[in-house]
């Protein structure tokens, strides 16, 4: 079991940043809940649909690579989306053991509509920032994500 990262003492800059990130995460979760209520897809299912709009016919393992998820988790997501008529499974012509996953027209329509649930809020907020501010934000968020990934890996190896 991974250890919890050691937290530094109360630093106002850390507290303020952590509060802002927590607020953004809460807003994203609210959008995810609304999307699930309106369109019947979870955020994980939506991520899979979005991958399929960009990559035609990957295998379950290929989807796992795109999503950073284990094959068994991807398989469960795919099965749920098949039941909803949003994706189809077909055998690969070159290898009958390989199953290819393809998004349906209904799946494309859902992906397009669901991705617009929280997007206007984010787009409007980003539009109020100057281009250099948006660039800095992107760089800082990328660095934060990288540092968080390194912390997670370090805690897993301890």
Q: Is the dihedral of CA 144, 145, 148, 154 positive or negative?
A: negative
- Flag whether pLDDT at 72 surpasses 70: yes
Dihedral, 139, 143, 144, 146 alpha carbons, nearest 10: 140
Share of residues in the chain with pLDDT > 90 (%)? 41
Distant-in-sequence contacts of 143-146, Cβ < 8 A, 24+ apart: 144/21
pTM above 0.85, yes or no: no
Architecture label for domain 12-118:
Orthogonal Bundle (1.10)
Share of residues in the chain with pLDDT > 70 (%)? 94
Whether 86 contacts 101, CB under 8 Å: no
pLDDT grade for 8, boundaries at 50, 70 and 90: low
The pLDDT tens digits of the residues spanning 118-139 come to: 777 888 889 999 999 999 999 9
Q: Where are the domains of the chain?
A: 12-118, 128-158
Phi, psi of 19 (to 5 degrees): -65, -45
């Amino acid at each position: 079991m991974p250890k919890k990262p050691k937290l530094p003492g109360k630093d106002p800059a850390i507290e303020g940043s952590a509060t802002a990130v927590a607020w953004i995460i809460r807003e994203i979760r609210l959008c995810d809940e609304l999307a699930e209520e309106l369109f019947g897809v979870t955020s994980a299912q939506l991520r899979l649909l979005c991958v399929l709009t960009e990559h035609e016919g990957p295998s379950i393992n290929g989807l796992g690579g795109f999503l950073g998820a284990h094959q068994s988790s991807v398989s469960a997501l795919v099965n749920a989306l098949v039941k909803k008529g949003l994706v189809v499974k077909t055998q690969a012509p070159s290898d009958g053991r390989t199953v290819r996953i393809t998004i349906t027209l209904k799946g494309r329509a859902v992906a397009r509509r669901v991705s617009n649930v929280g997007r206007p809020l984010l787009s409007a907020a980003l539009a109020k920032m100057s281009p250099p501010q948006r660039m800095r934000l992107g760089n800082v968020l990328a660095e934060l994500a990288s540092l968080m990934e390194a912390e997670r890996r370090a805690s897993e190896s301890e």
